[in-house]
Amino acid sequence: MKELRRIVICCVIFTKLHECQGANLSFPENFIIGAATASYQIEGAWNVSDKGENVWDWFTHNKPENIADGSTGDVACDSYHKYEEDVQWVKNLGLDFYRFSVSWSRVLPNGFANEVSEDGIQYYKNLTTLLVANGIEPIVTIYHWDHPQILEDLGGWTNELMVEWYTDYARILFEELGPMVKTFITINEPKVYCEQGYNSTTKKAPGKILENMGHYLCVHNTLKAHATAYHLYDDEFRAIQEGQIGIVTPCAGWVPGDNVTEESIERHFQFDCGWIMHPIYVGDYPEIVKTRVAYVSALENYPFSRLPEFSQDWIEYINGTADFFGLNHYTSSMPIFDTAEELGIYTRDSGIIKNTNSSWSAGSSSWLYVLPEGFGNVLRMIRDQYNNPPLYVFENGYSDTGELEDYRRINYYYEYVSEMLTAINDDGCNVVAYTIWSLLDNFEWNAGYTELFGIISVDFNSSNRTRSAKLSTSWWQEVISTRTLQDVPSNGTRR
């Protein structure tokens, strides 16, 4: 009788079926929770000391029409000067780790390793030292989209020499920060900056369209750079520093819908997630990606596939270069095959259309639909495709316009984290960490300051860039202190 009463009360309070069935909303033992930021989005100080110009400095200064509000990251959150306050926020939240990225042009002003900025490297040493002193694990992203402009003038990620230039840069960070850092991320989201930076003039720096193949060259060289840095760490630093290293990719999810099939889901996954991770976990690009790009390239009368080929040596060299699966996840869609192809019209290499539904709840970002079911689908697919590797969720978050009473953000976190815990506890997914995106409201790339993801508010109209708590700040404090997912505050409503 008592058990029946408990279930009835649970079903009255909660709306989700698995909650009514007594879902475990506690985090597993040794599970870690952190928050993330990126250098260009928060640091500001764009021309302080001897820092060089990076591609986002150039892009925002020369193409302001591509930023929703015409803004820049010149000051952003001013974390270059306010990092001590940021660390205090991290500590007060009770977070286990803080993921931040290093600005390549702050450390190497001219892009190359022949000139290292003492001020630049000292900034990151100070930040890392302060985190460690406060019991917070630093997780360092070596590259988060802001390479030096001089390297872009030389071709950027379409130039294979970037592999060498990037590795020289990574070596410096291993040497200078490695003694205090146990987790390095080589590169954040190659798919995004390659597709939107080298196959679009408006979305991301450097803003180029290169014959519908620049993004493929970019990913090709990025994977080589990642693998080379991984082997460098493995050969020269791992034994001494005893750390781990991997890459981070975004993987969008999927939900059921008309004409969504197992085949369309599989192709969607391979073009979205497998394009980056298949070479690392299996070897070479997914077969469907190679076949489709070659086929569409032939239809366009190219005498070659726009997707470059890896030599067998590179296939073997890249395969296995990850100590963990780094995942960023925000949203999902209903992937279906493009029926125009039945008429001989080919408009996309994948042949997949990502359908959405106007009835879905969404954030202030036009692309961010709240579909937690898709998160679980991605986690299970990664489990099955890649032999259930240790998985770090390195970004997950919700955009609004800066509300302090951010009930919708809390609702998003509740539903997505609940879905993740179900994938862990019921489906055996090997998720070991979760990262809030983002610690701070910040410069959101081509959206400028019109879309804000932070659990801490930043007043961008204040010269001091004043920080203040949101409702989600205290909600996360409670979640972290109890290691249990807390319900949405009473004024908030679930979808």
Q: Is the separation of the CB atoms in 29 and 425 below 8 Å?
A: no
Q: In this structure, what are the phi and psi dihedrals at residue 338, rounded to the nearest 5 degrees?
A: -75, 110
Distance CA 381, CA 388 (A): 9
Identify the domain containing residue 372 by its residue range.
31-482
* Token pair belonging to 66: 């591509």
262 has pLDDT over 70: yes
Distance CA 491, CA 291 (A): 52
In a domain, 286, yes or no: yes
Q: What is the pLDDT of residue 158?
A: 98
Q: How many helices (H) and strands (E) does the chain have?
A: 19, 13
- In order of 11, 77, 363, 367, 475, the CA distances from 440 in angstroms are 35, 8, 17, 20, 15
Q: Tally the domains of the chain.
A: 1
Q: Is the separation of the CB atoms in 490 and 407 below 8 Å?
A: no
* Token pair belonging to 5: 């009463």
In a domain, 404, yes or no: yes
pTM for the complete prediction?
A: 0.95
Distance CA 236, CA 442 (A): 36
The one-letter amino acid code at 160 reads E
Residues listed for the chain: 495
Please count the other Cβ atoms lying within 10 Å of the Cβ belonging to residue 234. 14
Distance CA 474, CA 305 (A): 52
Q: Is the peptide bond before 206 cis (omega within 30 degrees of 0)?
A: yes
110 has pLDDT over 90: yes
In a domain, 26, yes or no: no
Q: In this structure, what are the phi and psi dihedrals at residue 67, rounded to the nearest 5 degrees?
A: -105, 130
15 has pLDDT over 70: no
In a domain, 6, yes or no: no
CATH code for the domain of 441 = 3.20.20.80
* Token pair belonging to 405: 């009473």
Distance CA 194, CA 169 (A): 20
Q: What is the pLDDT of residue 91?
A: 98
Residue range 360-381: mean pLDDT, rounded: 98
- For residue 432, which of 379, 372, 373, 387 has the smallest C-alpha distance? 379
pLDDT band at 19 (very low <50, low <70, confident <90, very high): very low
The burial of 368, by beta-carbon neighbours within 10 Å (0-12 exposed, 13-18 middle, 19 or more buried), is given as buried
Q: 279-312: per-residue pLDDT in tens?
A: 999 999 999 999 999 999 999 999 999 999 999 9
Q: At what angle do helices 287-299 and 262-269 cross, to 10 degrees?
A: 90
Distance CA 330, CA 437 (A): 10
In a domain, 20, yes or no: no
9 has pLDDT over 70: no
Hey, what's the torsion of the CAs at 137, 408, 83, 104, to 10 degrees?
A: 80
Catalytic residues: 189, 395
Q: What is the pLDDT of residue 18?
A: 42
In a domain, 459, yes or no: yes
Q: What is the pLDDT of residue 24?
A: 86
In a domain, 249, yes or no: yes
